[in-house]
Amino acid sequence: MKKIILPALLSVLLSGCAQQFGNDVVNQELPLLSASEVIASATDNDWRVVDAQNILKITLPTGDAYIELNEQLAPKHVQNIKKLAREGFYKNTSVYRFVEGFVAQGGDSSGKKLIKTADRTVPAEFYSTTNKPLLITELNGDGYAPVTGFLNGFAVAQNSAHTQTWQVHCSGVFAMARDNYINSASTEFFVTIGQGPRYLDKNITVFGRVLEGIEHFNRLARTPTEGKAFNPITNIQVLGDVQSDKSIFKVMKTNSAVFKNLISARKNRVEPWFVKAHNYVDVCGMPIPTKREVIPINS
């Protein structure tokens, strides 16, 4: 016969979880506010301004997509793709490969385009290693990693010692494609456009996420049309270099109290429609609030 867990025992179990390293003690009690109400309660101090030098602007026929690069976990890939962008490598390339509900892949499909200053290949950065445990806003473990959570606005996972940290494959991540050789990542990137393929974690270098414009990848053509360029990429630029675009992106600080309250609100939904609260949210099911402000060019 199943026994009901007594409240006192449940309290002990929850307090034990809160003592784990890296868990910034997300509120374990049922939230009083909905997720939208928590976001609305955020103050200016709860948001960080994303450095425009770490944002890529991808100009597609369907619209502009903006990618925040993850310099902390994959610095070599970030440095190299910014070099590629600044030398104009991606002008008139294309998004040439789709796997529906999985990825959209782009770059130079011929593999013959001249590279001027960037490296042809970049060593794998599947995870970042630190000598000391790296503090994250911890969520929970899952079947793919003993620890998951958030670091500087990115969904991440860690080993049990918290000394290996990697960005996980959620929907909208930005990663470099490779062949069987692990250090073969070159110029071809992909964006995940469906449910996060977590089985790719630590097999591919993930080094960014879409801040805005994922719908523009989803609206691209799936098959070529005769006599028409196939999903041409007009350009990929570092946003800070684009004088005609003064967009400012702000991302909720994932180490803030309001974000921890947001996690609690997502774990246990209080909106009237919900009947069952599960006290759980997957790391890829936790949206990171992002907003954009546009400064007039003449200001």
Confidence of residue 4 (pLDDT cuts 50, 70, 90): very low
pLDDT at 13 over 70: no
Q: Record the tokens describing residue 83, joined without a space.
A: 């070099």
According to the model, what pLDDT value does residue 32 have?
Answer: 80
Q: What percent of the chain has pLDDT over 90?
A: 80
Residue pair 88/152 in contact by the 8 Å Cβ criterion: no
Does residue 14 sit within a domain?
A: no
Does residue 26 sit within a domain?
A: no
Helix H segments across the chain?
7-18, 35-40, 75-86, 214-218, 257-267
Sign of the alpha-carbon torsion through 70, 74, 80, 81:
negative
Q: Record the tokens describing residue 66, joined without a space.
A: 């903006």
More confident residue, 222 or 167: 167
Identify the domain containing residue 215 by its residue range. Answer: 46-253+285-294
Task: Find where tokens 């959209």 sit.
Answer: 104
According to the model, what pLDDT value does residue 222 have?
Answer: 86
Q: Which residues pair with 86 in a beta bridge?
A: none
Does residue 20 sit within a domain?
A: no
**Closest to 170 in 3D by CA, of 182, 184, 153:** 153
Confidence of residue 28 (pLDDT cuts 50, 70, 90): low
Does residue 228 sit within a domain?
A: yes
Does residue 28 sit within a domain?
A: no
Q: Record the tokens describing residue 4, joined without a space.
A: 């009901």
More confident residue, 232 or 222: 232
Tell me the pairing of strands 63-69 and 93-99.
Answer: unpaired
Residue pair 173/167 in contact by the 8 Å Cβ criterion: yes
Q: 65 φ, ψ to 5°?
A: -115, 140
Q: Select, from the ranges 94-98, 164-168, 229-233, 279-283, the one with the highest average predicted confidence (pLDDT).
A: 164-168
pLDDT at 8 over 60: no
Does residue 102 sit within a domain?
A: yes
Task: Find where tokens 């995940």 sit.
Answer: 192
Q: What is the CATH number of the domain that holds 87?
A: 2.40.100.10
Q: Record the tokens describing residue 126, joined without a space.
A: 């599947």
Q: What is the mean pLDDT of the chain?
A: 90
CA-CA distances (angstroms) from residue 162 to 37, 135, 197, 207? 32, 8, 22, 19
According to the model, what pLDDT value does residue 216 have?
Answer: 97
Does residue 279 sit within a domain?
A: no
**CA 155/CA 170 separation, integer angstroms:** 8
Q: 81 φ, ψ to 5°?
A: -70, -30
Average pLDDT over every residue of 115-137? 97
Confidence of residue 225 (pLDDT cuts 50, 70, 90): confident
According to the model, what pLDDT value does residue 18 have?
Answer: 40
According to the model, what pLDDT value does residue 193 have?
Answer: 95
- pTM, two decimal places: 0.88
Helix (H) or strand (E) holding 209: strand 206-212
pLDDT digits (tens, 9 = 90+) for 157-215: 999 999 999 999 999 999 999 999 999 999 999 999 988 999 999 999 999 999 999 99
Confidence of residue 1 (pLDDT cuts 50, 70, 90): very low
**Closest to 197 in 3D by CA, of 284, 267, 125:** 284
pLDDT at 6 over 50: no
Number of domains in the chain: 1
Average pLDDT over every residue of 122-136? 98
According to the model, what pLDDT value does residue 27 have?
Answer: 53
pLDDT digits (tens, 9 = 90+) for 228-261: 778 999 999 999 999 999 999 999 999 999 999 9
**Closest to 165 in 3D by CA, of 210, 195, 190, 134:** 134
**CA 91/CA 43 separation, integer angstroms:** 39
Does residue 233 sit within a domain?
A: yes
Average pLDDT over every residue of 87-110? 94
